[in-house]
Amino acid sequence: MDKKTHEELEKIAEEIRQCTKCPLHKGRTNAVPGEGGFEKGILFIGEAPGRNEDLQGRPFVGRAGQLLNELLDSIGLTRDDVFITNIVKCRPPNNRDPAPEEVKACSPYLERQIQVLKPRIIVTLGRHAWKWVCEHFGVPYEGISKAHGRVFTTNTLFYGKITVMPMYHPAAAIYNKELLPVLREDFQRLKQFLEDLKNI
């Protein structure tokens, strides 16, 4: 990641840490702006921080994060190769789904992160992140059970070309073991996509 990109992301992160745009800020220990080195141009978007993320101020550091690390390792990547964030940057109480007004208040931060990073591919983790991307970038929405592991591309006026691959959230694979092989297979599809990019 070049110096300018890093500085712009850090500016957004500082705004997120001081944000009071929705009631979630009242209960947070730490806001969770996101992190990563972004060497491969991949942006992972989850739903919202959980308990461990709130305590550490870092995304995906609990059980779901451990599984995400394993999945990255399985295709030869580390967290230094990708940028990881969430739609909502503060933990909702009791890990409930983010409310629409919370998503609306937080969305401009994610939009700016995408604008700064200009990812080669966005990988959405879970149905909430997938739906957010569809709504914001004009990707035709299909349920995650049908859409996972496929590559969707759309051209936008403001962001240019957006390429996205929806996947199940790692937490879903922890609670439903049948989804784990599906998630592993989708990561292999991501690996193949990246290899195909090299050959273009």
What domains are defined for the chain? 3-198 (3.40.470.10)
- pLDDT band of residue 200 (cuts 50, 70, 90) is low
**CA–CA distance, 3 with 148 (Å, rounded to integer):** 34
Q: Please report how the helices 100-117 and 3-17 are oriented relative to each other, as an axis angle in degrees rounded to 10.
A: 160
CA atoms within 13 A on the CB side of 136: 24
Q: Parallel, antiparallel, or unpaired: how do β-strands 160-167 and 121-125 relate?
A: parallel
**CA–CA distance, 46 with 85 (Å, rounded to integer):** 6
Residue range 52-100, pLDDT digits in tens: 999 999 999 999 999 999 999 999 999 999 999 999 999 999 989 999 9
What percentage of residues in the chain have a pLDDT greater than 90? 90
The mean per-residue pLDDT over the stretch 158-182 comes to 94
**CA–CA distance, 27 with 145 (Å, rounded to integer):** 33
pLDDT for 160 beyond 90: no
Residue range 16-53, pLDDT digits in tens: 999 999 999 999 999 999 999 888 999 999 999 999 99
